[in-house]
Structure 1
Amino acid sequence: MHRLQGTTVAEASDVLAAEEPLEIRVGYGPAAERQHRTLSITMRTPGHDFELAAGFLFTEGIIRSRQELQGILYCPDVEKEEERENVVRAELAPSALPDLPRLERHFYTSSSCGVCGKTSIEAVHAAACPVLPGSGPHVAAGIIHQLPERQREAQALFEQTGGLHAAALFSPEGELLLLREDVGRHNALDKVIGAALLQEMLPLHSSVLLVSGRASFELVQKAAIAGIPVLAAVGAPSSLAVSAARDFGMTLCGFVRQNRYNVYSHPWRIVNETDGNV
């Protein structure tokens, strides 16, 4: 590439964020009558692909628990060998009863926006999102201030490329539990939720989620399905995200940067160290 600084032009090399398609297939039904279908093609950063697939299946309502997922593998029957690690197949337990109309929807999810790949916004609203418990955790206001720096310290790929989103799961005391990066903000969150699902950590009722960009409706929806009670975003929330957070009983914080942030819903979980609840 050519790097310009003022009027000076110089040849240089750069590290770029990888972006490749991932096809997610699903196998389901009794052992003697297994069926296989393609569910989604998403543009993602390679890595943690099985977690991405697991998180996608869970947040889309295809599976409801770890027990319904028999296993995930890279498809061995892909024609081109170089594409095999871009196609994964999730095998559901024979006892799992997936929503067939949902399986028949073929998703295309771009790396920047998941909602636009859905057949309609009504389908998103119809997804089953539980109302979160009306109790704990309580998070000290100062802890929220610390989360972006702790997230950045753990973002190895971002430091190299500057082009990746991150989703990070913390304890109420600010301890980093899980972090995943991806070119797509929704993929990064699906990877976190998928990792938690595979480790049998769900529901995440005692956790705080930080996302590196804005807070969209879809991120609120995914967090609610995973049982996450506090969602903080470095960027701005959308009006639909705020409305959904209020409906789901979720505490939503935005503009978490430069030692400030706004709390848009259910502020009782954020505790000011001197004055009590925000």
Structure 2
Amino acid sequence: MTVRPGPTTRVRVRELSGSASRDRRDDLATEEPLEIRLISLDGTRRTVAITMRTPGHDFELAAGFLHGEGLVPPGGIIAIGYCTDGDVAPEARYNTVTVRLNGPVPDLPALDRHFLTSSACGVCGSASLDALHDRCRPLPTGSFTVTPETLYGLPDRLRAAQGVFGKTGGLHAAGLFTSGGELVALREDVGRHNAVDKLVGWASLAGLLPLDRHVLMVSGRASYEITQKALAAGVPVVCAVSAPSSLAVDLAREFGMTLVGFLRGERCNVYSVPGRVS
């Protein structure tokens, strides 16, 4: 019987405290590979990515990855399921996802750079900001704003909703909020970019894209890949508990995204388009 991996794994540890010690159980965040395969209408098959992730919301992770990398257009997915191909061992069935497309598999040379990703850094996607202009447009200024008071409350609301983090202390989170600070959806993963992919995939499969009336809040830092994925989903405001990278700030400024970093307590830095913070 094939056992489906869960988001946590229980282990035995020896806890040391001063000169005392005791053996006890501990819950760890599960980290296992996920292979994403594409199948076109004509039966063409191709592995597009292998990423280390925390099991759970795997179909959303696949959909979000494909959308964020511009590999599959909105509505381009017919179905997603765990793979039952003969070359997949039974114990790996829940670590392989097949995405059926209503069109052809994307150009194969474009997939080479996506083959292997990790839970730590993900795939950069496009190598430069110039390449992003081929598939992403600058965000409209519009009338979407958020108050400083709303921003200040997001980290606590994000943390309070992290169920698996509360057990393991080892997961990143991405949360989607309204302009009033109401939590819409949250996803967790050992990889911060995976958490964003799961969130974007949830919105994509539910037909909710673009997310142009929402705020994205992430634990940890704001990297280029996170802002890239948020841009592809149309998110106008991205907030992070920690620092942004220089390329993330460049992307936000070039595409009109409001990027907030060091959001802790009643303090933060707004690195781009501060006009949305009213």
TM-score of the pair, normalised by structure 1? 0.90
Residue 106 of structure 1, CA deviation:
4.5
Which residue among 189, 202, 215 is the counterpart of 1:195?
202
2:131 counterpart of 1:126: yes
CA distance in 1, matches of 2:140, 2:107: 26
Residue of structure 2 in register with 1:107 after alignment: 115
Residue of structure 2 in register with 1:25 after alignment: 37
CA distance in 2, matches of 1:223, 1:26: 23
For the structure 1 residues 106 and 214, does the alpha-carbon distance in structure 2 shift closer, same or farther, using more than 3 Å as the test? closer
Residue of structure 2 in register with 1:56 after alignment: 65
Residue 101 of structure 1, CA deviation:
2.5
The one-letter amino acid paired with 1:74 is Y
Q: Deviations over 1:140-195 (max 9, x none)?
A: 11000000111111110000000000000000011111100000000000000000
CA distance in 2, matches of 1:22, 1:142: 39
2:264 counterpart of 1:251: no
Contact 1:115 1:121 in 2 (8 A): no
Residue of structure 2 in register with 1:158 after alignment: 165
Residue 53 of structure 1, CA deviation:
0.2
2:215 counterpart of 1:208: yes
CA distance in 1, matches of 2:19, 2:246: 43
Contact 1:41 1:109 in 2 (8 A): yes
**Range that drifts further, 227-236 or 258-267:** 258-267
Residue 6 of structure 1, CA deviation:
2.1
1:177 is paired with a residue whose SS is strand
Residue of structure 2 in register with 1:275 after alignment: none
5+ long unaligned stretches in structure 2:
1-12
The one-letter amino acid paired with 1:231 is V
**Root mean square deviation of aligned Cα:** 1.6
Residue of structure 2 in register with 1:135 after alignment: 142
Residue of structure 1 in register with 2:84 after alignment: 76
Residue of structure 2 in register with 1:274 after alignment: none
Q: Deviations over 1:101-155 (max 9, x none)?
A: 3234442111100146x6x834x75242321011131101100000011111111
Residue of structure 2 in register with 1:276 after alignment: none
For the structure 1 residues 252 and 76, does the alpha-carbon distance in structure 2 shift closer, same or farther, using more than 3 Å as the test? same
The one-letter amino acid paired with 1:54 is A
The one-letter amino acid paired with 2:175 is A
CA distance in 2, matches of 1:114, 1:97: 22
Percent of aligned pairs with the same amino acid: 54
Residue of structure 1 in register with 2:8 after alignment: none
Contact 1:15 1:161 in 2 (8 A): yes
CA distance in 1, matches of 2:130, 2:224: 10
TM-score of the pair, normalised by structure 2? 0.90
Q: Deviations over 1:183-213 (max 9, x none)?
A: 0000000000000000000001000000001
Displacement over 6 Å in runs of 4+: none
Contact 1:129 1:221 in 2 (8 A): no
5+ long unaligned stretches in structure 1:
272-278
Q: Deviations over 1:9-66 (max 9, x none)?
A: 22121100000000000011x4xx320000000000000000000000100111120x
Number of positions where the alignment pairs a residue of Structure 1 with one of Structure 2: 263
Contact 1:44 1:183 in 2 (8 A): yes
CA distance in 2, matches of 1:152, 1:235: 14
